Chains A and B, each alone.
Chain A
């Protein structure tokens, strides 16, 4: 199961090698050319010589994580966040550190030793450390280097009625959608871009889009869902099981209206469930694609995920399948003459 492999692989921004290797193994044979660029994007091309329009898909390989910034005399590791993580989800988590994937624990002070007032406030990241079981600073430095990156240590699994849980669903679920899409037959020139460094500023996609210079762009994401008990339904931004979420606007992009309308038309015509991403916060690779060169008509399509940017997120398998179906219909529509 490719999503399991992708979810469990480490891939903090700037360190996407393991994810890239898994994807490459999956798509060799499905595409005509695989290119890499200087920043580390992997660009898989189908039908490079076919007449346009050239379609670029972007799914980012990187995930939010941490980076080692110092050593305590005791052998504990200091760290900072790489990407947006709520400090409160870090405490007492198991993690994996560096290339060797050394096990570690983000320690917390036992409740017995806390002052009552300490319990009133969440512990801040800068007061946390990672324990890798080192005897002292020198021992820790033998195993870990400054700048090594850290991921959450989470096993992927299927659970409940058609749900999956694991880390890094944002955006390994998008990578998995894109891999599935490459299995579809198409005569169009498809540029499947597995991008880097999205979580720290949409960096890889800007470079990939400049290189590819597409006629249309589609960003594939694992997006937010706030189906939490205390949130009233009219403030839910996406719902699991309600189908692919179409972006109407976010902090980095306003999608091309014609492409958005076509996606809606296709979903309704084929009775595929779909929903809108009902918030304008957050930014994705769509933002950078849309601004490449003289501008690229772009849309964002996402699989809703609960609890993203945390050690474990939850997605629905039907949403995944319906996202692939919708995009496959979209490609057929473009083959049939749709233009933005």
Chain B
């Protein structure tokens, strides 16, 4: 599993330009699924057919990551840019980024008298070009870049860019690998454009039209020095979401997941996330409404180049999904 994590987190896939990640995931799953297709927005939809006795279930993890988009190139070859997804300017200062074609760049700032003046309009990317013409050979307006950096393997804990939400993609792929025969018709959906407004999940859910939707995404934790208060910790097990600012998870589905975790002695914790949203919210409001919930991988330093997850938590999320799908999914 570690090799797959490394491969996915190190690949390129900002919102709206997920092609390389999609190809990689498609390679991993095409032998495991009964059908694989890509919809108009670029969602990768893999179906594992049920036996007709179960439910139609959609699982969603987003392929896209946060990044930047080039908005102008000046005469000296420096790039100005805008965010793709949510990050704060201080996170970007001094960071290395990489474009789809392999062009690398460094983010830095105009001279500021006070660091509080640091805004995105003060930042630029230096791609080592000496003038506009040289820069334009490698990068154009509208091109996107993502953080650059290899996976740090700390043993039980892994650090990389784009854990949000490649780790969710890994959970779905592993679930598909381990699931075997089950009653339910399960759609494993690797969505696009989550970071810019839960867009892919919306059109995918419309197309799949499931009875139950479960998103797998990262969530924040409250276990670092003088952190904000949040009762989720790294290594504490799969986080079963109660609510975030985009949805209130269906209580019957949430209870069901808790029972499955208890029965199978899978470590779990309940999650109330005060800020943030997931694909489950888009699924929940699709068509006439869908029973939706979330299994989250606890993650430190979200939306930075160094997002940290715990291998045990990842395994717990896979176990919880597999055991849920092996059961009846009859919600009380």
Contacts and interface: CB of A to CB of B under 8 A. Distances in A.
B80 interface: yes
A24 B73 CA distance: 43
A260 interface: yes
Interface in A257-306: 257, 260, 276, 278-281, 290-297
A236 B80 CA distance: 11
A248 interface: yes
A249 B142 contact: yes
B204 A294 contact: yes
A321 to B, nearest CB: 23
Given A249-B82, A249-B84, A280-B82, A293 B71 contact: no
Interface in B51-75: 69, 71-74
Contact of B40 (A237, A257, A278, A295): A295
Contact of A297 (B40, B43, B72, B193): B40
Nearest to A340: B40
B16 interface: yes
A49 interface: no
Contact of A279 (B41, B82, B202): B82
A279 B74 CA distance: 15
B74 A248 contact: no
B74 A294 contact: no
B166 to A, nearest CB: 19
Interface string B163-201: 000000000000000000000000000000100110110
Given A254-B16, A280-B82, A290-B199, A295 B69 contact: no
Contacts of B199: 290-291
A293 B40 CA distance: 10
Nearest to B73: A234
A279 B71 contact: yes
B213 to A, nearest CB: 15
B121 interface: yes
B39 A294 contact: yes
A276 B70 CA distance: 11
A235 B72 contact: yes
Contact of A278 (B141, B193, B196): B141
A295 B142 contact: no
Nearest to B132: A234
Contacts of A237: 71
A260 to B, nearest CB: 7
Contacts of A234: 72-74, 80
A257 B204 CA distance: 19
Nearest to A261: B142
B72 A290 contact: no
A239 to B, nearest CB: 11
Interface on chain B toward A: helix, strand, loop, or mixed SS?
mixed
Given A254-B16, A278-B71, A279-B71, A248 B142 contact: yes
A254 B15 CA distance: 8
Contact of A294 (B40, B71, B72, B82): B40
Interface size class of A (residues with CB under 8 A): 20 to 34
Interface in B251-272: none
Contacts of B82: 249, 279-281
A276 B71 CA distance: 8
Contacts of A254: 15-17, 84, 193, 196
A20 B196 CA distance: 33
Contacts of A260: 142
Contacts of A293: 203, 206-207
A257 B17 contact: yes
B83 interface: yes
Interface string A325-340: 0000000000000001
Contacts of A280: 69, 71, 82-84
> Which residue of B69, B71, B121 has the most chain A CB atoms within 10 A of its CB atom?
B71
Contacts of B204: 294-295
Contacts of B203: 291-295
Nearest to A276: B141
B41 A249 contact: no
Contacts of A248: 69, 71, 141-142
Contacts of A291: 41, 199, 202-203
A280 B197 CA distance: 14
Which of B121, B193, B204: most chain A CB closer than 10 A? B193
Interface string A183-206: 000000000000000000000000
A249 B82 CA distance: 10
Nearest to A260: B142
Interface string A240-259: 00000010110010100100
A294 B45 CA distance: 12
B17 A294 contact: no
Contacts of B193: 254
Nearest to A215: B40
Interface in B71-128: 71-74, 80, 82-84, 121
B80 A294 contact: no
Contacts of B72: 234-236, 278
Contacts of B43: 295
A297 B299 CA distance: 33
A279 B83 CA distance: 10
Contacts of A235: 72, 80, 121
B215 to A, nearest CB: 17
A108 B3 CA distance: 69
30 contacts: A234-B72, A235-B72, A235-B80, A236-B72, A237-B71, A248-B141, A249-B16, A249-B82, A249-B142, A249-B196, A252-B197, A254-B17, A254-B196, A257-B16, A276-B71, A276-B142, A278-B72, A279-B71, A279-B82, A280-B69, A281-B82, A290-B199, A291-B41, A291-B199, A292-B203, A294-B40, A294-B206, A294-B207, A295-B43, A295-B203
Interface of B: 15-17, 39-41, 43, 69, 71-74, 80, 82-84, 121, 141-142, 193, 196-197, 199-200, 202-204, 206-207
User: What are the 8 closest A-B residue pairs judged by CB atoms, nearest first?
Assistant: A254-B16, A248-B142, A295-B203, A295-B41, A294-B207, A295-B40, A280-B82, A276-B141
